[in-house]
Every structure is written in C-alpha cells, then in structure tokens.
C-alpha cells in the first residue's frame, strides 16, 4: 500500500509540473502595447489575425459593449465569457499555466491591489495606454488600465430621511444605530476590507474625530491596537447587517416605496443607477461627514490585455472601444456612464443625472500596494471580531 | 479463519503452480475483479489525483501568500493548517462554523429521513388516495432550485429590520421573530424541504422492491402491525435509510446557497460558507484545507455507516418469486393524513414557484400593483428603454440554442453517471466485506466533498493539455486534451455526480439477491449476459429513480461548470446567472421558471413510463 501511494505521489508530481511559460515584457513590446496606433491600422491588423476577440468580463454591460463593437467593426466577432471576477482570474491563471491563451482581454475590477500585484507586476496581464486616450488621465491611476472609477458610499432612504442622517464614522457605533446599517460581507468581497485598511491607516484622524463626537479621548480595548481597529470592532458589535451583494444593499435601503425601517447601506456607487432605472428611493452624500476623515476609497473597472494572447490587435482595438476612443465620446464607454460611475477620461461625458461631484467626494489616497500588503492582516482581524 | 485452515490442508493435494495458475486465471476473469480494477483506475485518475493535488497545495506556499509571509512560492509550509487550527481566526473560521454545520446537517438528515420515509411508506404501503398525484407532487420541491426556496422563505417571513420591506406575515400583522426569518431554524427548514426527496426516493424504491411475502409471514405467525413494521419492514429498508442519511448529511454539510442566503445576514456562518468566502478571497489553499476537513468528516460518517451495515446481515429482498404487495388501510386517519400532506406540499411547492413566476411578470421589481404586470420578459419583442432591447426569453433564438446544449449535457451526463453508478453499486454491494469493495465505496464519495468551483478548476488544469508518455519510442496518450470541449463538461458533471448515482446504485444492488445471479451463472450465462438479462432489468426501478435524481441535479448545476463553459456551450443556469449579473432579474426568473417546467415535464414523462414498467415487471 505504501509503495502504491508513493508511486501515485510521484505520478502526480510529474504530471503536475507542466512547463511554466515565463511572462515577459518582450512580448508586450513586440506586439506594440507601448505604441499608439491608429484605429484603421488596428482594425486591419485585427481582421488579418482572424477578426476575433475573446473577452472575459465581470458584468452584463460588457455584452452591450461587445455588441456595439461588432456593429462598429464589421467582420469582428467578440466571444464574451460572463464570469465573476474570482472565476475569471481562476480560469485565466489555470489556462495561462497550461499554456492555453484563450482570453485576449479581461475586464475585472481592481480594488485591493491584487490584480496589479499578482497579475500585472508578474506579467500575466498587460497595460495598454495609447497616448491619445490616456494622455490626460491622472498618472496615479495608470498602474492599471482603468476606464471607470467606482467608489463605495453610504446610501440612505430618501423617504425616511431628508438628508444623510449620519455625520461621522463613529455615529454607527452609537446605540441609536444598533442594527440599522448594512454593508457588504467582508468575507466575500474586498470592498469593506479596503475600507477597514484605510480607516486603520487614517487612525489619527479617526481618534481625533472620536474625541470630537463623544467629547473624550478614545479608550482602546486590549484587542484594539488603534482607533481604526476600534471602529471595526465596535461596529461589528453594534448589530451590523451583512449582505452578500451590492444589489441587495440598495434593495434593503430603498428597493421599494413606503419602507418604514430601512437601514443605511454602504455599497458600490454605481448602484445609484437603480434610482434612475428602477425607481429605488436612494440618496447619497459622501461629503456630509463633519470631520476631515475621507469616506471612500477609489476602485477601478479595468481592461487588461492577456500576455501571449492570440489576438493582440483585436484586443487593442477593443480596449480603445471600451475606453470611448480618443475623445471619450465613443459608444463603447456609454454603458458604463451611469449615476455613480466616473470615467477616468477628462473628456468623457458624465451621466446626465443628479450625483455627487467627483472632486467634492473626500477620498482616501489611492495606494494599491498598501491595500495588497495589509489585506489579510485586516481580513483576519475582521474574522476574529465579526459578530 | 476456518476456510483458511481448510485451504492449508488441501494444499498438499495440489501442485503449487497449478494452484497459482487457477488463482491467476480467476483473478483475471472474475468480473468482479475486472470491475474493481476498472473502477479503481478510473477513480484514481478522476478523483484521487485531483484530491492529492489539493492535499499538496495545502502544504505549498502560493505566490500571493509568499509575498505576504516573505517566503518563496512553492516551498513547503504549514502556514495554512496553522492558520486554520491555531490562529486568531480559528475560532470564527473553523470551530464555530463547523459546529453550525454539524448542527444543521444532523437536523436536516433526521428531519428529511423522518418526512421522506413516512411519505414513502404512505405512498407504497398504505391505501392513500390519489397516489398518482401525490407521488408526482412530493418530488416537485426537489426540482425547484434551493435559492428559489430561500427567496420564498424570506418573502414570507422576513422582518422589516433586515432587507427593507416587510414579508407577507409581517405585512398582515403577524410578528415574526427574527430567529425564524434568518439563521439556523430557517436554514434547517428550507434544506429539509429540499432534501427530503432523497430519502423519499431511496426508501420508496426499496419499499417497493420488498417482497411482501416477508411481511405476510409475519402476519401468518400473528405479529401485530407495529411489530411487523419494526421487526420486518424497518430492518429491510435500513440500508436505503442509511444511504439517504449519508447523502443528505454530506449534501447539507457542503451546500452553499441556502446558508449564504439565510445565514450570512445575521453572521451565521457554516463551514461551507466559510469555504466559499476563502475562495472569493482568492485564498484557494485555505479553501482546500477546509474542503479536506469536510472530506474527513464524510469519511468518518461513511466509516460508521459501514460499521453499522457491516455488522448486520444485508438483506436481499428481490428474490426469485414475486408476490403482490398488500396495502395497509389508514382507516380513520385517512382524511387527516391527506390534509396534512396537501398543506405541506402547498407550502413547499406553490410558494416558491408562485414567487418566481410573479417576479418574472413584474415590469419593475418591488411594485406590486396590477398595472405593473407584463409578459414582456416572456414574449416581448424588446424595446430600447427596457434593458437595451433584450427580447423576451421565448422569442430569443439564443434561448433555444442554450436549451439544446443543456438538454444534451444533462441527458448524456446523467445517463453515464447513472450507469457507472449502478456498476459501482454492484462492486460496493458484492464487495461489502472485501477491502476492494470498501475502497471503491470510499473513493467514489470524494467528488461530492470537493467544492464545485475547485473541482471545475482542477479539471480545467488536468485536461488542458494531452498527457503523453513515450514507451520504447512510441507516444502513448494517457489523457487527451479536452480543453474547451463539450466532452469535458460531460465528464466533470458525471464524475461530480457519481457519489449520488453510486449511492442509489448500491442501495439498489444490495437488494438483488446473489442467488439470482448464481442461478444464471450455473445455466451458463456469462457476466455480460447476467448483467444484461438479470441484474439490470431487476434494477431498472432504482435505475430510473437514480437517473431522475441526477438529472435534476445536473439541470441546476452552475458552480461546477462556470469556468469550463464557453459562449458556445452555455447552459440554462449559466444563462440565468448571466441575466442576474446584468441586473436583468426578471429574465433570469423566466429562465428559472422554464428550467423548472422542463424538469417537471421530463420527470412526469419518466414517471408515466416508470409506473407502466412496475405494473408489468413485478
């Protein structure tokens, strides 16, 4: 039996060690990812390489983009794989390891720095920043290839409250808010962990704000190293309701008219579009807190080209399309221009609806490396204090 | 021991080489051995290998963690196990959720078996009226996806504190305590409604095959009815009850949707929701470690089960002579039984389906007014202001293509899984007292405990390239590259469902007396003839039940396939998922309703045939 087992083991090891393809920047250079080519050049080259783009996307809106792309470039076909972000990355990296290069472009969301650190830095995914499109984009954003910014913010029910009812992060630790707020499960999505990381990073501001709100300095418990951790611990103990999706959060806050006991909900800004599309009674005011602690972190919808993909020119053409082309007015970006989504391109239009002005929103400094480094420490802390 | 000694004695009268030759000949031609050999090799590749890869991964530092703990990717590490068993997160990541899971799994198993067996007994052995209707209705809850039942549960019981609008009960003024709306009680109730069908199917198949002569014998010697039930009927169906227990116990240990839907809001985590959390956090190796704990628990349950069945005699109940079953009269209780059963089914069937259909008809969700009802999402042509002109599902040509894919996958995969399940069931039942039989039984159960998404990912890696070996200059393909093919979807689905098909196969085969096979053997029938002419015809009853069981499970499968699917091989659940991810819930509800109708229709047809067969066969 032992012999059999060791044989099996050896067998597995041999088969497990398939040849590893080393990612390199050379491929990116050879395929012109550092160049700015004209649409005509790319279109011709894309048709020449087969007229196909394989897209792994994380939202149904990518399908709309794919359809308008096919209409704009006759002869091009987009195969759209609708996947969750996690399934997408799992599928992509398994295929990559096996030397299969199905995906040409991936459209995930970058929040916690993991796509930047584990995929882009490692050369599995590439940035493509044609000068005419990305020339005026904030350079701080260009560690990835973003096209739209999404934030997380507090939503309130506009039938119950005439304005945002809380003015400090610490309000949520008060008894009157016990059991009356909801956020996304930190065990599932990165949104809350990134928020926690930032609150810890801004602990000094949090401590000062505590004193302002309660009139006395904060007294930390043994398991609270600083004011940021203290906030996490106390919110966990104040009856927080956990939701598993952003859709459920906005539904809980204002999914129907005549709700009597709706909670506040911290969720992704782009869901504000349900107010316009489905008539949800949602209000937001991210600049309503009275102190200077920011209220939200920046995250990106990104579009990355896969290393060693088979249709690099189709991929480049598609990236241009979803970014709305040089003037930002293109049809490809349109499905993403809704309430609470902010294009990274200064020339691109904003949704013609009532929404907070992007520059007025107090945002934490973007620091993907910091998010990446501290992610699991903060996650572990949450798990240890969660209700 | 006695047999061994006899053997030793007779050794003198035979030459060693001849004895060896006979032994060898027997070993290679004995169909049991051949089946065992095939099963072990196939399961080794399709099950043990992925499992070993999982085990290795938990001792290997993944690149993303390597950066964090300042190690080198791929080096040996105890990081994951230490984190799981002994760190600041252990309490909330392992011990508490594990306790919750065990509580849920045992409650659900006990309740499901009570309800399932009771209904099975009523259906098979009593004079319950309208059996045709009830036997159909009783199985419907299993055809409804579990998330749909959770949704119905919430829309009935939810309190206004969580999830905004009040549920039906709060709406009409009944105060619903929160522990009923969310948490363990809710999870146990919904899962029981979902899983009792397993117990019902397995126990009723077994009851149906019991030769009523056995009970008549009890009657002849004057045993009271209750004693007959306890001393004759119950022991006879015990193997199928234990089968059902294992199935339901591990299904409820591993299930994700319902505990996530009804537990997470109140931070009630189970081991499976923790597992999926880790997968979502891209903590794949942690997730593997948690899966291995699930596997270990299941192995213990199976071991105990084998002890229980092993120390008892197993009963062969399909004997050579058939007898007609007599039904027992319910007498005065009849009316009450009918009413209770009807109410139970109404709650379990009508509510979830009603909610689903209603939500597919609402132009805007959350608006319950009559003007808001529409057939747009079913047959609408598509208007630009509603979800970018997406046409109604029934007029969307893509739907029919996806439907075709789904049916093809479901039919092929469930046939393969069920057939292999019967073969493995044969090995399990005939080898109950042998190491080989027990080995196969253990191996075949593993796929269930590997989380679907991880199982799918492993198959993607395994079959992404052809694996070849070169022997004496000849290239032999050990495993073809199945990447992106339909065959891979079929394979992964069939293997993932083997635990269930082989469970029902075992329960089935245990009841077919070996003497029938021996009789055929003596009249010169070879193994294949025996299978084709004796075993399979006798087991068709269980085969159909098993097939339907797998069929319904496969029809709803999503997690397993999601990373293997390509745009051309989409299935119905994937289509429903895509609609939801695009915020088009109503379309998704239409697809889910249609999925249910298809399963129902096919089951109804099978049931018609199935009944006809019974009346002729026994």
Asked, for residue A292, whether it belongs to a domain, the answer is yes
Q: Report CB contact under 8 Å: B567, A81.
A: yes
Asked, for residue A102, whether it belongs to a domain, the answer is yes
Host domain of residue A270 = 152-297+365-385
Q: Report how many Cβ contacts below 8 Å link chain A to chain B.
A: 174
- Judged by DSSP in three states, A82 sits in strand
Contacts of residue B477, defined as CB under 8 A and 6 or more positions apart, other chains included, come to B466, B467, B468
Which of A83, A185, A261 has the CB atom closest to B161's CB atom?
A: A261
Output the average pLDDT for chain A. Answer: 90
**A30 and A91 assigned to the same domain:** yes
Asked, for residue A100, whether it belongs to a domain, the answer is yes
Asked, for residue A16, whether it belongs to a domain, the answer is no
pLDDT digits (tens, 9 = 90+) for A31-62: 999 889 999 999 999 999 999 999 999 988 89
The fold of the B80-319 domain, in CATH, is: MetI-like fold (1.10.3720)
Asked, for residue A5, whether it belongs to a domain, the answer is no
A128-137, A175-184, B132-141: which range is least confident on average? B132-141
**A251 and A292 assigned to the same domain:** yes
**A214 and A186 assigned to the same domain:** yes
Which of A16, A61, A97 has the CB atom closest to B582's CB atom?
A: A61
Confidence bin at A6 (pLDDT 50/70/90): low
**A227 and A285 assigned to the same domain:** yes
pLDDT digits (tens, 9 = 90+) for B390-444: 888 898 888 999 999 999 998 899 899 988 988 888 888 888 778 888 888 888 8
How many distinct structural domains can be found in chain A? 2
Contact A115, A145 (CB under 8 A): no
Closest to A137 (Cα-Cα) out of A335, A324, A297: A324
Q: Report CB contact under 8 Å: B161, A383.
A: no
**A199 and A139 assigned to the same domain:** no
Which of B56, B282, B583 has the CB atom closest to A60's CB atom?
A: B583
Residues of chain A with Cβ-Cβ distance to B274 below 8 Å are 187
Give Cα B17 distance to the centre of its chain: 48
CATH number at residue A310: 3.40.190.10
**A246 and A371 assigned to the same domain:** yes
Q: Which residue did the predictor score with more confidence, A148 or B448?
A: A148
Asked, for residue A103, whether it belongs to a domain, the answer is yes
Chain A touched by B398 (CB under 8 Å): no
Residues of chain B with Cβ-Cβ distance to A112 below 8 Å are none
Tell me the backbone φ, ψ of residue B77, rounded to 5 degrees: -150, 150
Residues of chain A with Cβ-Cβ distance to B574 below 8 Å are 82
Chain A touched by B330 (CB under 8 Å): no
Residues of chain B with Cβ-Cβ distance to A58 below 8 Å are 581
pLDDT digits (tens, 9 = 90+) for A184-230: 989 888 999 999 999 999 999 999 999 999 999 999 999 999 999 99
Q: From the CB of residue A325, how many other CB atoms can be counted at a distance below 10 Å?
A: 21
Domain ranges for chain B, please list them: 80-319, 401-618
Identical fold between B80-319 and B401-618 = yes
**A33 and A62 assigned to the same domain:** yes
Chain A touched by B484 (CB under 8 Å): yes
SS3 letters for B345-395? HHHHHHHHHHHHHHHHCECCCCCCCHHHECCHHHHCCCCCCCHHHCCCHHH
Task: Identify the residue among A82, A238, A278 best suited for mutation to test binding to B, counting B beta carbons within 10 A and taking the highest.
Answer: A82
Chain A touched by B260 (CB under 8 Å): yes
Architecture (CATH level 2) of domain B401-618: Orthogonal Bundle (1.10)
Chain A touched by B76 (CB under 8 Å): no
Contact B460, A93 (CB under 8 A): no
pLDDT of residue B616: 28
Angle at A211 between CA A208 and CA A213, to 5 degrees: 110
Q: How far is B307 from chain A (nearest CA, A)?
A: 22
Closest residue, chain A, to B259 (C-alpha): A244
Q: Report CB contact under 8 Å: B49, A373.
A: no
Q: How far is A255 from chain B (nearest CA, A)?
A: 7
Chain A touched by B468 (CB under 8 Å): no
Q: Report CB contact under 8 Å: A79, B567.
A: yes
ipTM comes to 0.80
- Does residue A383 carry a pLDDT above 80? yes
Q: Report CB contact under 8 Å: A16, B584.
A: no
- Does residue A115 carry a pLDDT above 80? yes
**A59 and A138 assigned to the same domain:** yes
**A100 and A189 assigned to the same domain:** no
Residue ranges in chain B whose pLDDT is less than 50: 1-9, 313, 321, 612-618
Q: Report CB contact under 8 Å: A60, B578.
A: yes
Tell me the backbone φ, ψ of residue A302, rounded to 5 degrees: -125, 160
Confidence bin at A106 (pLDDT 50/70/90): very high
Residues of chain A with Cβ-Cβ distance to B284 below 8 Å are 90
Confidence bin at A101 (pLDDT 50/70/90): very high
Strand partners, B477: B468
Q: Is B12 exposed, middle or buried (0-12, 13-18, 19+ CB in 10 A)?
A: exposed
Task: Identify the residue among A22, A58, A59, A86 best suited for mutation to test binding to B, counting B beta carbons within 10 A and taking the highest.
Answer: A86
**A289 and A312 assigned to the same domain:** no
**A274 and A203 assigned to the same domain:** yes
Asked, for residue A274, whether it belongs to a domain, the answer is yes
Contacts of residue B104, defined as CB under 8 A and 6 or more positions apart, other chains included, come to B184, B187, B188, B191, B252, B253, B259, B270
pLDDT of residue A324: 95
pLDDT of residue B165: 59
Asked, for residue A228, whether it belongs to a domain, the answer is yes
Q: Is A317 exposed, middle or buried (0-12, 13-18, 19+ CB in 10 A)?
A: buried
Q: Which residue did the predictor score with more confidence, A281 or B526?
A: A281
pLDDT digits (tens, 9 = 90+) for B48-79: 888 888 899 899 988 777 877 778 888 899 98
Q: Which residue did the predictor score with more confidence, A263 or B535?
A: A263
Q: How far is A158 from chain B (nearest CA, A)?
A: 13
- Does residue A151 carry a pLDDT above 90? yes
Percent of chain A with pLDDT over 70: 94
pLDDT digits (tens, 9 = 90+) for B318-345: 555 455 556 777 778 888 889 999 998 8
pTM exceeds 0.95: no
- Judged by DSSP in three states, A139 sits in helix
Report the distance separating Cα B122 and Cα B135, nearest Å: 10
Report the distance separating Cα A284 and Cα A360, nearest Å: 13
Q: Is A171 exposed, middle or buried (0-12, 13-18, 19+ CB in 10 A)?
A: middle
Q: Report CB contact under 8 Å: B264, A185.
A: yes
């Amino acid at each position: 039996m032992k012999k059999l087992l060791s044989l099996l083991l050896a067998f597995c090891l041999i088969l497990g060690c398939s040849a590893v393809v080393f990612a390199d920047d050379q491929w990116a250079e050879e395929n012109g990812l550092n160049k700015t080519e004209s649409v005509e050049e790319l279109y011709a080259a894309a048709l020449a390489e087969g007229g196909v783009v394989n897209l792994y996307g994380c939202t149904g809106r990518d399908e709309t983009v794919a359809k308008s792309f096919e209409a704009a470039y006759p002869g091009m076909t987009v195969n759209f794989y609708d996947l969750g972000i996690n399934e997408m990355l799992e599928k992509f990296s398994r295929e990559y390891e096996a030397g299969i290069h199905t995906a040409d472009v991936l459209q995930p969301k970058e929040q916690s720095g993991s796509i930047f650190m584990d995929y882009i830095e490692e050369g599995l995914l590439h940035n493509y920043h044609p000068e005419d499109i990305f020339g005026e984009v904030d350079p701080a954003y260009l560690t990835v290839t973003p096209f739209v910014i999404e934030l997380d913010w507090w939503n309130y029910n506009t039938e119950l409250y005439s304005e945002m009812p809380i003015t400090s992060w610490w309000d949520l630790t008060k008894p009157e808010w016990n059991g009356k707020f909801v956020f996304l499960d930190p065990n599932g999505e990165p949104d809350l962990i990134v928020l926690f990381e930032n609150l810890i990073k801004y602990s000094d501001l949090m401590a000062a704000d505590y004193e302002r709100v309660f009139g006395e300095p904060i007294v930390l418990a043994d398991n609270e190293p600083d004011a940021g951790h203290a906030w996490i611990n106390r919110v966990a103990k104040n009856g927080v309701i956990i939701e598993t999706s952003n859709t459920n959060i906005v539904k809980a806050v204002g999914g129907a008219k005549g709700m009597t006991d709706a909670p506040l909900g911290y969720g992704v800004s782009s869901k504000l579009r349900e107010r316009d599309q489905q008539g949800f009674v949602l209000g937001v005011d991210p600049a309503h807190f009275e102190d200077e602690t920011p209220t939200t972190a920046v995250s990106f919808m990104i579009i990355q080209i896969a290393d060693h993909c088979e249709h690099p020119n189709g991929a480049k053409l598609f990236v241009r399309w979803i970014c709305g082309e040089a003037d930002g007015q293109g049809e490809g970006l349109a499905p993403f221009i809704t309430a609470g989504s902010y294009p990274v391109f200064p020339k691109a239009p904003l949704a013609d609806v009532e929404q907070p002005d992007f520059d007025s929103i107090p945002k934490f400094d973007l620091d993907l490396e910091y998010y990446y480094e501290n992610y699991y420490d903060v996650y572990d802390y949450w798990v240890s204090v969660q209700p | 021991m006695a047999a061994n000694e006899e053997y030793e004695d007779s050794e003198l009268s035979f030459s060693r080489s001849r004895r060896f030759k006979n032994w060898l000949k027997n070993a290679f031609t004995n169909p049991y051995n051949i089946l065992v050999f095939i099963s072990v090799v196939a399961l080794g590749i399709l099950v043990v290998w992925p499992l070993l890869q999982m085990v290795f991964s938990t001792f290997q530092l993944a690149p993303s963690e390597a950066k964090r703990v300042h190690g080198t990717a791929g080096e040996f590490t105890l990081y994951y196990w230490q984190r799981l068993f002994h760190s600041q997160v252990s309490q909330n990541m392992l011990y508490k959720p594990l306790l919750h899971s065990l509580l849920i799994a045992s409650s659900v198993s006990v309740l499901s078996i009570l309800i399932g067996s009771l209904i099975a007994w009523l259906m098979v052995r009593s004079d319950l009226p309208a059996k045709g209707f009830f036997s159909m209705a009783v199985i419907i809850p299993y055809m409804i996806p579990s998330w749909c039942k959770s949704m119905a549960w919430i829309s009935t019981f939810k309190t206004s504190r969580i999830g905004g609008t009040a549920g039906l009960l709060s709406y009409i003024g009944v105060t619903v305590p929160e522990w009923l709306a969310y948490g363990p009680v809710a999870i146990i109730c919904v899962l029981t409604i979902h899983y009792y069908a397993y117990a019902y199917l397995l126990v009723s198949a077994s009851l149906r095959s019991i030769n009523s002569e056995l009970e008549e014998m009890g009657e002849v010697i004057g045993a009271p009815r209750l004693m007959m039930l306890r001393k004759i009927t119950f022991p006879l169906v015990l193997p199928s009850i234990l089968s059902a227990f294992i199935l339901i116990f591990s299904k409820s240990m591993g299930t994700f949707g319902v505990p996530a839907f009804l537990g997470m809001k109140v931070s009630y985590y189970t081991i499976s929701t923790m597992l999926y959390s880790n997968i979502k956090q891209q903590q794949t190796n942690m997730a593997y470690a948690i899966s291995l704990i699930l596997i270990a628990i299941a192995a213990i349950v199976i071991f105990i089960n084998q002890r229980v069945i092993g120390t008892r005699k197993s009963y062969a109940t399909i004997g050579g002579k058939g007898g007609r079953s007599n039904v027992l009269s319910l007498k005065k209780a009849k009316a009450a039984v009918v009413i209770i059963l009807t109410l139970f089914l109404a709650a379990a069937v009508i509510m979830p389906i009603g909610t689903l259909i209603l939500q597919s008809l609402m132009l805007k969700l959350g608006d319950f007014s009559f003007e808001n009802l529409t057939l747009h999402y079913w047959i609408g042509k598509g208007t630009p202001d509603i979800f970018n002109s997406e046409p109604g599902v029934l007029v969307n040509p893509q739907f029919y293509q996806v439907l075709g894919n789904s049916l093809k996958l479901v039919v092929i995969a469930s046939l393969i899984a069920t057939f292999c399940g019967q073969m493995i069931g044969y090995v399990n039942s005939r080898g109950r007292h042998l190491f080989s039989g027990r080995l196969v039984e253990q191996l075949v159960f593993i796929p269930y405990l590997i989380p679907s998404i991880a199982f799918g990912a492993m198959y993607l890696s395994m079959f992404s390239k052809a694996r070849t070996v070169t022997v004496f200059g000849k290239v032999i393909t050990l495993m073809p590259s199945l990447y992106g093919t339909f065959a891979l979807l079929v394979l992964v689905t069939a293997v993932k469902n083997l635990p269930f098909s082989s469970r029902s196969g075992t329960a089935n085969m245990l009841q077919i007396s070996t003497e029938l096979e021996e009789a055929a053997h003596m009249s010169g029938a070879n193994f294949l003839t025996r299978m084709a002419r004796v075993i399979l015809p006798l087991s068709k009853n269980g085969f159909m039940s098993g097939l339907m069981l797998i069929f319904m499970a496969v029809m709803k499968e999503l997690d397993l396939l999601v990373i293997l699917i390509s745009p051309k091989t989409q299935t119905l659940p994937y289509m429903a998922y895509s609609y939801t991810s695009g915020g088009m819930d109503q379309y998704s509800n239409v697809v889910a309703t249609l999925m249910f109708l298809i399963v129902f229709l096919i089951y109804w047809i099978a049931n018609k045939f199935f009944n006809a067969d019974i009346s002729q066969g026994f």
